[in-house]
Structure 1
């Protein structure tokens, strides 16, 4: 009895805008390294209004989806099950389609953050500071549950965002000390600083570094290095970048979707090459 080639399997990243996403580069590199020649991974420009129709039209060849903004919360009503970590941070960045047709939402940003820190030798710190609010900052709070026992200082613009981060901290079991953005320079004295802001938002802090900086985790990956990351490195501090996070969370997505461990080295090399080729 002869068997034909394996049935095609599909995955993709959805979001708006999606043009600059590195996810296709990372996932395709994983498939090539793993010999999964029947797997494809694409990018689709999908906003909240189009999400339900897109997901409803997927056939049995689909294995999973990666989700970026603004879909990490919009996807929830379309799911049959949501993993605990995704519920904790109120954000789904991964959907896996099971053999019995269920849609399971998960979040690889949180364990990806932890894995990226551990790769650089950061397993425990006395305290930490987070710059910014929103979904990435909330994921950082969830990750910091495994990294620090102390309160986390969060620097935000406005009382509404401060309140949101305190509520998130209560939900996650993390004591959040919310501070105004005007005091952000003091965050740099923490043993671990996680910058979750968009590119350029913390460039002005590059002149405020302490004499002996600790660890900076800057989630921006393009352009890299950021002004803050560059100054931090020159001052002798340890720097973890946005590409580290992106690769580690994608490694976990590959494992969830394919059932095979994601090849970290091959995926990182592909991401570095892609970024090096951008203007």
Structure 2
């Protein structure tokens, strides 16, 4: 209930519902700022929406239950991050009966549109940063999502060394011990003599913590995807060499504008995939 109060959630009658929004229930940094901008714009336009909160975006059962409940309440549009193939499979069974706006990730779905970072170009820029630093001993945290694959493709094109580097398993979502999870993997595989740790979306803070836990402060650095909020101490200590930071406010406002237009005019966005420009913060 506290989370519901924080987001301004209120339950509304089925015949009133127009949009269903599904977001993490423990929002920090990126998702909180995106949600603030998105929900504010929807309220200003007097669009009737309902917010559903899930503990983990990769929890396919809970996400699918939220989708089902929202559709039963009559929503014409779903807004959510689609981070799991099982969720995408369930959404395909809807056969386009409801419009879907996907955040940060995209899947091939009927009447679905994605608002995602320009991952390939961002990966290329990160690869150029690594090449300029002339590092060779690197490790990568891998995600496996479609947009993450685009980021890796761009990075490896600009920095071929990354194509054959050791890969770490991504920490589970919504955990406090992600740094220890990565540090344990590096110890077990004797990956302690490294120069750089390449972090996938949302794992850069954990990567920085892992380097500190392993005593690699000043010997190795991280690059990766992460909202810059909360990382100041690691930027100052030079543990972070570069961060790719997508503006959550701009993304939230863009999605809200498209959602409002769809509800008012039943007009779909012009492109299936809208790629957002990413700002890269370099620690020189």
TM-score w.r.t. length of structure 2:
0.48
